[in-house]
Amino acid sequence: MIGTSYLNDRRKAILKAVVEEYILNGQPIGSEELLRKYSLGCSSATIRAELAALEEMDYLSHPHTSAGRVPTEQGYRIYVDHLLTLSPVSFQEEEKISQVLNRQAQDLRNILAEACRLVAAISTYTSLALAPQANQQVMRHIHFVPVSAKQALVILVTSLKVIQDQFLEVSVEVSEEDLEYLSHYLSRRLLGKTPWQCLQELPVIREEQPARLVSLLNQLSTVLHNVFLYEQSERLIVEGAENLLLASDFRNSFTQRRLADALDRRFLLQDVLDRHLTSRNLQIFIGQENEVVEMHDLTLLAMPFEASRYAYGALGLLGPMRMDYAKGIRLLACVTGVLERALSQEA
Amino acid sequence: MIGTSYLNDRRKAILKAVVEEYILNGQPIGSEELLRKYSLGCSSATIRAELAALEEMDYLSHPHTSAGRVPTEQGYRIYVDHLLTLSPVSFQEEEKISQVLNRQAQDLRNILAEACRLVAAISTYTSLALAPQANQQVMRHIHFVPVSAKQALVILVTSLKVIQDQFLEVSVEVSEEDLEYLSHYLSRRLLGKTPWQCLQELPVIREEQPARLVSLLNQLSTVLHNVFLYEQSERLIVEGAENLLLASDFRNSFTQRRLADALDRRFLLQDVLDRHLTSRNLQIFIGQENEVVEMHDLTLLAMPFEASRYAYGALGLLGPMRMDYAKGIRLLACVTGVLERALSQEA
DNA sequence: GGTTGGCACTCTCATCTGGAGTGTGCCAAC
DNA sequence: GTTGGCACACTCCAGATGAGAGTGCCAACC
């Protein structure tokens, strides 16, 4: 037998075959099966020897003596790093996804939610979408609209195509002209600023305005807080959790429950995605590479996208370690591509 | 033994005990256990005789010879119709729920989504929320807002506190004054009308307006269609599906998958809830009483609520047949109460 | 030296079996 | 109508058995 720790071409071919077979069927693969399905140019005994070498190198493992081989996390790692062949995204695919996402001009949250649903549905795994941070956007538009004698609507639009609207209570003293005036005044003072800068500015503005408008400005302050609040609670969208929970790989009820709880703790996932947003490339976390304990037997694909200049979000795909990497990566590449184009069409 | 088909007080007490025990533990109940836990004033042999009679009447059944009794669907039916004692909703409960729901003045969809999440979380089952039909609301407000040279925002507010806003593409010929003018003009023509009536009216209006505004009016037409579209796709909100899917009662993977699919087919559930909205009271569908085959071993509680005059929505709770009926009914009553009050606070 | 066929070995998995446990149904006595 | 006693039926668990699958090792071969 050749040296035990060297990954020659035959071993690469065998490792690739094992990983892809396992992704396909989820069953341990034996030497005879490899011989039958792949033309490896040697006998099953030789394959066995190579399998043993690959196991020695920690790329494969053995559920038990008389079972076939299964990839280890390191095995998947080698696979995605060196063995995976990606076909480019076809124009038709991208066109189809583009159609679904652009069915109607939408604001950021709707687009992201739609993208997330799409990825979950196509992949049959769980999809995550992380919106850019609130402070990576600036106010583009601010407008008060009288709705009734007691209510007004405030509408904020930001550079990230986020629309935030909310009912405000209006005292009888506030006239329609006041609202009109305030719309223009605040536009002059706040447009081009980040939500945070706006919040800083509001107390100053409040001083300059007549007393009857103070309540309105206070409420606006709450709305701006909500832009941050949205950041905290709704920046992350999760779709298709049931796909993962019902996946045959995790029939253990304890694991299922734990995973369901983990997916509910948005902050956790949000944090993880955020921290890896610094890289501008696809990132892959296999098994224990995931910081979140509950995801230790899952793989997370995370693909950042540029929602607008310097504002990055991410689209993620969470599936079993034996997920179809090629398909998943293509899908994410395709959808983030469409997303970037849809979001960059700024007015 | 007394007559076999008559439900006397002792039998009622025993049936109630069996149902409540089973709701609590999910285990078949034997005569000895009943004797121990409930003071029924007779021996286990007598209880056995009564259990046999209740089984004869189809209120209880027998998984196998040497197992205890389990309620049948008819048993649950008798229980909810005649044996269930409901304590009234306490002020504190209602106050607490009210606080969560009214954290911020919100539009209908957010309130409903929040209510749905709340019910799912408290009940640990699956919660459904059905918004009133689009045509049960009238336009309250319509406004165009210039956002940039190429984009405008249209904002619709209806009597049901639905806010619908969407970006519109604007040609260079359309001035800010045009948008202002159109806001006023359309307000005069469309306010007080249902979305459907508005859609009817738009072609007429289009005729009367200069050519450069036609594209805008066409896009408005699409937005109005979206109000209907929202009716078709997002009128029903489902939360906590994973609670039901992971419930220990349904560990069968086939059933889980089927249920997950059924919960995804919103139209189906929407239809069911809609059809029973004519009744203005709580409705209970136990097992096969559900029209949807996938829900044949579940119970659906459906509680209608009045979102505004003549506009009814519903809040539903979907759980195992052995759900805690008392708790579920209280919860729905409480949340719909809060909802009605929150939504009736019209400006 | 690398490769090959042969073969004993090991481990899982499905099936079977027996015994403990549980709750019933029936009966005779009250 | 109610009660205690008891045989019976059935589930559930543990241990046993055998088939099947895939390996590791070895001697022979190129």
Mean pLDDT of A292-309: 93
Q: Please say whether the beta carbons of A252 and A129 come within 8 A.
A: no
**Quick check: B153 and A140 CB within 8 A?**
no
pLDDT value of position B262: 92
CA quadruple B160, B166, B170, B176: dihedral, nearest 10: 50
pLDDT value of position B232: 65
Q: Name the nucleotide nearest A29; use CA and C1'.
A: D22
pLDDT value of position B328: 97
In which band, very low, low, confident or very high, does the pLDDT at B347 lie, cut at 50, 70 and 90?
very low
A9-83: CATH topology:
Arc Repressor Mutant, subunit A (1.10.10)
> Measured between alpha carbons, how far is B262 from B269 in angstroms, rounded to an integer?
8
Q: How many CA atoms lie within 13 A of A73 on its CB side?
A: 13
Q: Which two tokens stand for residue A234?
A: 């709704």
Mean pLDDT of B240-255: 81
Tokens 């639009």 map to which residue? A157
Amino acid at site B2: I
Amino acid at site B64: H
Q: Is the pLDDT of residue B346 over 70?
A: no
pLDDT value of position B204: 95
In which band, very low, low, confident or very high, does the pLDDT at B243 lie, cut at 50, 70 and 90?
very high
> Measured between alpha carbons, how far is A277 from A61 in angstroms, rounded to an integer?
33
Transcribe A238-275 into DSSP letters. EE-HHHHHT-GGG--HHHHHHHHHHHH-HHHHHHHHHH
Which of B125, B138, B151 is best to mutate for the A interface (most A CBs within 10 A)?
Answer: B151
Task: Share the mean pLDDT of chain B.
Answer: 90
Return the higher-pLDDT residue of A314 and B2: A314
The CATH number given to A91-133+235-344 is 3.30.450.40
Q: Is the pLDDT of residue A3 over 70?
A: no
Mean pLDDT of B121-129: 96
At A102, phi and psi to the nearest 5?
A: -100, 20
Q: CA-CA distances (angstroms) from residue B73 to A63, B244, B273, B326?
A: 45, 19, 21, 17
Q: Beta-carbon neighbour count of residue A270 at 10 Å?
A: 20
Q: Name the nucleotide nearest A46; use CA and C1'.
A: C3
Q: Locate CATH 3.30.450.40 in chain A.
A: 91-133+235-344
Q: Locate CATH 3.30.390.60 in chain B.
A: 135-233
**Quick check: A246 and B257 CB within 8 A?**
yes
In which band, very low, low, confident or very high, does the pLDDT at A104 lie, cut at 50, 70 and 90?
low
| Distance measured from the CA of protein residue A29 to the C1' of nucleotide D20, in angstroms | 15
Tens of pLDDT, residue by residue over A107-116, are 888 899 999 9
Q: How many percent of chain A have pLDDT more than 90? A: 65
**Quick check: A141 and B147 CB within 8 A?**
yes
Chain A residues with CB inside 8 Å of B107's CB?
A: 165, 167
Q: Locate CATH 1.10.10.10 in chain A.
A: 9-83
The CATH number given to B91-133+236-344 is 3.30.450.40
Out of A150, A165, A347, name the one closest to residue B147 (CB).
A347
Task: Share the mean pLDDT of chain A.
Answer: 90
- State the burial class of residue A130 (Cβ atoms within 10 Å of its Cβ: 0-12, 13-18, 19+): buried
Nearest-neighbour CA in chain B from A14: distance (Å): 33
Worst-scoring range by mean pLDDT, B36-45, B53-62, B298-307? B36-45
The CATH number given to B135-233 is 3.30.390.60
pLDDT value of position A53: 95
Question: Is residue A112 helix, strand or coil?
Answer: helix
> Measured between alpha carbons, how far is B168 from B145 in angstroms, rounded to an integer?
10
Comparing CA positions, the residue from A322, A325, A329, A301 lying closest to residue A69 is: A322
Amino acid at site B62: H
Q: Name the nucleotide nearest B48; use CA and C1'.
A: C24
Amino acid at site A192: G
> Measured between alpha carbons, how far is A28 from A40 in angstroms, rounded to an integer?
18
In which band, very low, low, confident or very high, does the pLDDT at A347 lie, cut at 50, 70 and 90?
very low
Q: Which residues of B lie inside 8 Å of A (Cβ-Cβ)?
A: 104-107, 140-141, 143, 145, 147-151, 153, 155, 157, 161, 163, 165-169, 222, 226, 241-242, 245-246, 248, 251, 253, 256-257, 260, 346-347
Nearest-neighbour CA in chain B from A123: distance (Å): 16
Q: Is the pLDDT of residue B105 over 70?
A: no
Q: Locate CATH 3.30.450.40 in chain B.
A: 91-133+236-344
In which band, very low, low, confident or very high, does the pLDDT at B3 lie, cut at 50, 70 and 90?
low
Out of B145, B165, B241, name the one closest to residue A242 (CB).
B241
